[in-house]
A and B are shown apart, each in its own frame.
Chain A
Amino acid sequence: MNQKTIFKFCKDLGCCDRCCLRYLGVKIPNAYENSNEYVARFQDEPTSNIKSQEDIQSNENTTSGKDNVIVTDAVTKSDNTCSASVHTDNDSDKDIEGIQDNATGDVDSDNIHNDNMEYKNGILPPTKRRKLHHCVSCLGILQEDTWPDTNLMLKEMLHKKSYECPTFACALSAPIATLLRERAVTLLVREAYPEYDPNTLTPLKEAWKWSYGAQAAAHVGRSLHSGAVSPLLVTVNMEYPHEMQELEILKALSPSLFESRSQQRKRFAVEFTRRAAEQALAGAAAAALRAAGWPAPPEPAAHARCAAVHAAHAPLHLAGRYIKLSRELPQTPWILNGVRMMESSVQEIIFAPIAAAYGLTPEECEHRLKFMSAGREDVDVRCLGDGRPFAVEVTDPRRELTEAELKRVCEDISAGGKVVVREMMYVTREELAELKKGEETKCKTYEALCIKLSHSEHEHDKSPTEPVTVTEQDIANINSYSNTSEPGVRVQLVQRTPIRVLHRRPLLARTRHILQLSAAAVPGQPALLALRVRTSAGTYVKEWVHGELARTAPALQAALRARVDILALDVARVHLDWPRRAHPAPR
């Protein structure tokens, strides 16, 4: 078994040049991009100066046309003819494929779009009007005559969505019939050459990227990269008109598989999934295919056509820190039993100018923008200081907003007076992961306004009717209080899940820490005190202040030695340096 033999064998079956290379297991992208040049080495004589006529002759005994539509020399016309003919109405292709044109540049271009059926059984004039040969394996997907249609749709899609991305990656959604045909060819090769390794086959989608993709790059004016590199992914969906009737053969190959399937699903259209086809083909033998009426894959009466092009840009992530100045503003829309409880939210205030900059409608907003943050504060809690880190994921963005646009977005957010965002920037996925991780590890500093509700334990002399006041002793008691020797920790406490979230969270008793604690009297307010508290992540400060029916213990009461409640709470600082600025912003 040598490569030339296999090449010829596949060619005789009716494979296109590129498919022949695939069956040989060629994995060199350039071989597919410039297949005409590359295949010469597998042909008996160098083809560079050989007329296609000879090529045709060498293929006269093919099986491909036997019981199919055409048995003329035209059947085996090589790929180069097809591509050449395409060029007549698309000069921009000339440079790329010019190499291939030499031999067959004189072919009548009209043939490409003609329905082949009318040239049945030798009616076709042998030299002038040649019928296009569709590859029995890729159904024309690797053949250049199917490419202009695809190029057109691709260009249109990219134009419609107006991506600014200078690169792209492409993916192919191929008809399932190509799997069936690949299997049929592989089995025949294997039958003829038992030492042939069927696993060597280069996947159609790879060969397509290397050939079609490389060609499309010039068309769309973007450079082709792998999906791992380019954020812009274009998916080309090729459909084969005879897909369904052709796949009927799978039923013959694996009746039990499809019997059970058709019971599950009544609809014919969804019966043949890619997975089911792979399953049915996995165990199929050449004999079984032959018995099912497929001694060899028949020449397709029509090639696969581009049915749709889908384009999507990987999400972009805008990051910043928000300051929340309202005590009547939830972080995200607050909807209870389908009823909106508050008219706005931090999320909506931030989304509005971003949506405007990207030209998104309110409906699109819901699907295309996603809000993420390092934790959240309650509706009635302000978030001051540098604010809280947040990110907005933009799905399928057309472009990055400019510095000036981002500045405008910040100004628009802040104009309403409820939320302030000073700066926004784009961050990477890695940075985004830090935001999510930060949620579990970050500390926060709070300011709490508290009211003393009873006389302190040391105030025995005060009568119950006397007004409750915060004394210097009280402040000193709090400022010196600690219940643990753990380094860096002032107070260790155990909190049960607060009642206010108990309906949606599991009931647990968690150990939490207060790292720093200081109290001060409030001028002009004898019963009040102001606390500054630094806590570990996940500490519920309100519950620690009032004790929540002793469900948090010890509570502030243990330090003050009097009953106490909370009147107001602010987040003074979220201790997470994110997003990190390249240049520190002036403050």
Chain B
Amino acid sequence: MEFTILDSIPDLTNFKSFTDRYFSKRYILNVDRIKNNDIMLMFHSNRITLLSLAPSHFFFKKNDNYKINFVIGKIDRLSNSVKGKGKKGGQLLTAKSVICKIEYNDGESFDVPSCMKGTLIEVNEELVKHPKLLKEMPDSNGFIAIILSSIAISEATKSELLSHEDYLKIMTNESSNNEK
């Protein structure tokens, strides 16, 4: 019996991206009652969560140049560090904690909140050098931060939030309303 990797060619019509394979997407719309301030959380089954912007976020409609600033008041999110299996020393986050600011050249800016209680594991440093990633690949290399919370919080948040299917429905309705 000889086995080779060529035994294992899957059905490519069902191909899923890395994040779609391992994460389940959830959405929060109009955060802080700001229209289209829409956040996307991607939950891994192991209670690790990625924070990013939802495709419906107003950010994607504006074409000005921008920078991503991880210094929030006295806290520098880039200097976050965690030690050991227990991830000790990571910055503690509430749902309101600001992870970064998107700062446009025209002086306008907006905050990206954590939307979830937990420990900050890492922020995406690539965004400092390549801010474009956030616009081009918000659900993969353009993610903003990795957050770890307890199983309980992770599960509770996941079940409270808008599922990917419901999000898509709302988006289709909105776009058809806009067309009218």
Partners in one complex: yes
Contacting residues, chain B, for A528 (C-beta < 8 A): 9
Q: Which residues of A contact B140 (CB under 8 A)?
A: 549
- Contact of A567 with B44 at beta-carbon distance under 8 Å, contacts A337-B151, A451-B15, A507-B82 already known: no
Determine if B15 and A503 form an interchain contact, defined as CB atoms under 8 angstroms apart: no
* Complex alpha-carbon distance, A546 and B17, angstroms: 10
A447 neighbours in B (Cβ, 8 Å): 4-5
Within 8 A of A (CB), among B77-105: 82-85, 87
Residues facing A in B132-160 (CB within 8 A) are 140-141, 143, 146, 148, 151
> Given contacts A337-B151, A384-B3, A500-B46, are A507 and B8 in contact (CB under 8 A)?
no
Please tell me if the beta carbons of B18 and A548 are within 8 angstroms of each other in the complex.
yes
Bound complex: CA A570 to CA B9 (Å):
12
Tell me which of A325, A502, A546, A565 contacts B48 (CB under 8 A): A502
**B126 beta carbon closer than 8 Å to chain A:** yes
* B5 engages A568 (CB within 8 Å): yes
Please encode chain B, from 40 to 66, with 1 for each CB lying within 8 Å of some chain A CB and 0 for all others. Answer: 000011111010000000000000000
Residues of A within 8 A of B12 (CB): 451, 527
CA gap between A546 and B137 in the complex, in Å: 14
Name the one of A336, A384, A448, A546 contacting B18, with C-beta atoms under 8 angstroms. Answer: A546
B34 within 8 A of A: no
Give the docked Cα–Cα distance between A565 and B10 (Å).
Answer: 13
Q: Which residue of B lies closest to A551 (CB)?
A: B122
Out of B10, B19, B22, B82, name the residue touching A568 (CB < 8 Å).
Answer: B10
* Complex alpha-carbon distance, A508 and B104, angstroms: 33
Distance in angstroms between the alpha carbons of A546 and B140 in the assembled complex: 11
User: Which residue, A503, A504, A570, has most C-beta atoms of chain B within 10 A?
Assistant: A503
What is the 8 Å Cβ interface bit string for chain B, positions 1-43, against chain A (1 contact, 0 not)?
0011110111010010111001000000000000000000000
Contact among A502, A503, A505, A549 with B143 in the assembled complex (CB-CB below 8 Å): A549
Is B121 close to A, CB under 8 A? yes
With a cutoff of 8 Å between Cβ atoms, the chain B residues found around residue A503 in the complex are 46-48, 148
Q: Which residue of B lies closest to A450 (CB)?
A: B5
Q: How far is the CA of A384 from the CA of B5 in the complex (A)?
A: 10
Q: Is the CB of A549 within 8 A of B9?
A: no
Q: Which residues of A contact B4 (CB under 8 A)?
A: 447, 570
A453 (CB) vs chain B CBs: closest residue: B17
Chain B residue at minimum C-beta to C-beta distance from A570:
B5
Tell yes or no: A476 within 8 A of B by CB.
no
CA distance A33 to B76 in the complex (A): 78
Q: Does A506 contact B (CB under 8 A)?
A: yes
- Residue among B22, B85, B143 facing the most chain A CB atoms (10 A cut-off): B85
CA distance A384 to B17 in the complex (A): 27
Is B141 within 8 A of A502, CB to CB? no
- Per a CB cutoff under 8 Å, which of A337, A546, A568 touches B8? A568
Q: How far is A549 from B151 in the complex, measured between Cα atoms in Å? A: 23
A99: Cβ under 8 A from any B Cβ: no
Complex Cα spacing A527 to B45, Å: 30
| Distance A448 CA – B4 CA, assembled complex (angstroms) | 10
Q: Is A522 an interface residue (CB 8 A)?
A: yes
A505-532 interface mask toward B, CB cutoff 8 Å, 1 = contact, 0 = none?
1110000000000000010010110100
Residue ID in chain A nearest B87 by CB atoms:
A507
A337 to B50, CA, bound (A): 22
Question: Whole-angstrom distance between the alpha carbons of A120 and B141 in the complex?
Answer: 94
Q: How far apart sit A501 and B121, CA to CA, in the bound complex (Å)?
A: 13
Q: Tell me, yes or no, whether A499 is within 8 Å of chain B by CB.
A: yes
A536-550: which have CB < 8 Å to B?
A: 546-550
Residue B141 contacts which of A382, A384, A449, A550 (CB distance < 8 angstroms)?
A550
Check A418 for interface membership: any CB of B closer than 8 A: no
CB <8 Å contact, A506 and B83: yes
Q: Is A327 an interface residue when CB atoms closer than 8 A count as contact?
A: yes
Find chain B residues with CB under 8 A from A530 CB. 5-6
In this complex, the member of B9, B12, B143 whose beta carbon has the largest number of chain A beta carbons within 10 angstroms is B9
Report how far A449 CA is from B8 CA in the complex, Å. 8
Q: Across the interface, do A499 and B48 meet the contact criterion of CB distance under 8 Å?
A: yes
Contacts of A382 in B (CB 8 A): 3, 8
Chosen A-B contacts, 5 in total, with CB atoms closer than 8 Å, are A447-B5, A502-B146, A507-B82, A527-B12, A567-B8
B residues near A (Cβ < 8 Å) are 3-6, 8-10, 12, 15, 17-19, 22, 44-48, 50, 82-85, 87, 121-122, 124, 126, 140-141, 143, 146, 148, 151
Further 15 A-B residue pairs, CB within 8 A, beyond A504-B46, A504-B85, A548-B18:
A382-B3, A384-B3, A449-B6, A502-B148, A503-B48, A505-B85, A506-B85, A530-B6, A549-B18, A550-B141, A565-B15, A567-B15, A568-B5, A568-B8, A569-B5
